[in-house]
C-alpha cells in the first residue's frame, strides 16, 4: 500500500488535521477529533490515540482519565492528505457521555 509521511500531510492554518476514529473490528465511526504534529507522533510512538483539544488548547491523551484508551491498529491518509482515518481497538466507550460512539444522535432538519 502507498504510504504518506508527516512532511506530506497538509495541516491547516492552526497546525491541525482532522482525524476520524473508527473501530477496526466493527467499523463503527467513533468520533472526529484533531491532531497536531506532536499528537500524531505520540500516537505513532505509543500506539494509543493523542489529540489536540481545541477547546482546552492542550494535548489530550484519549482515555487518560476515563481509562477508555484507543489502541491504534492503523492510520490511513486521504487523497488530499488533509485528513486522517485512525482505526483502533477501543478499551471502552469513546464518547464522554458513555455512548460507544459520539455520533449517537440523528440530524433532523
- Is 77 among the residues that bind a copy of itself (CB under 8 A)? yes
- Is 108 among the residues that bind a copy of itself (CB under 8 A)? yes
- Is 14 among the residues that bind a copy of itself (CB under 8 A)? no
CB 70 within 8 A of CB 63: yes
| Min CB(70)–a copy of itself separation in Å | 15
- Is 69 among the residues that bind a copy of itself (CB under 8 A)? no
- Is 22 among the residues that bind a copy of itself (CB under 8 A)? yes
- Is 102 among the residues that bind a copy of itself (CB under 8 A)? yes
Question: CA–CA separation, 37 vs 17, rounded Å?
Answer: 9
CB 92 within 8 A of CB 66: yes
- DSSP string of 72-94, one letter each residue: EEEEEE-TTSS-EEEEEEESS-S
Binding site for a copy of itself (CB under 8 A): 1-6, 9, 18, 20, 22, 26-29, 31-32, 40-41, 44, 74-80, 83-85, 95-97, 99, 102-109
Amino acid at each position: 500500500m502507498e504510504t504518506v509521511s508527516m512532511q506530506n500531510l497538509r495541516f491547516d492554518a492552526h497546525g491541525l488535521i482532522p482525524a476520524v476514529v473508527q473501530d477496526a473490528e466493527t467499523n463503527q465511526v467513533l468520533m472526529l477529533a484533531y491532531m497536531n504534529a506532536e499528537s500524531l507522533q505520540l500516537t505513532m510512538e505509543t500506539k494509543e490515540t493523542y489529540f489536540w483539544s481545541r477547546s482546552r488548547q492542550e494535548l489530550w491523551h484519549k482515555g487518560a482519565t476515563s481509562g477508555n484508551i484507543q489502541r491504534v491498529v492503523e492510520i490511513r491518509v486521504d487523497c488530499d492528505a488533509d485528513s486522517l482515518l485512525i482505526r483502533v481497538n477501543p478499551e471502552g466507550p469513546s464518547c464522554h457521555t458513555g455512548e460507544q460512539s459520539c455520533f449517537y444522535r440523528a440530524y433532523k432538519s
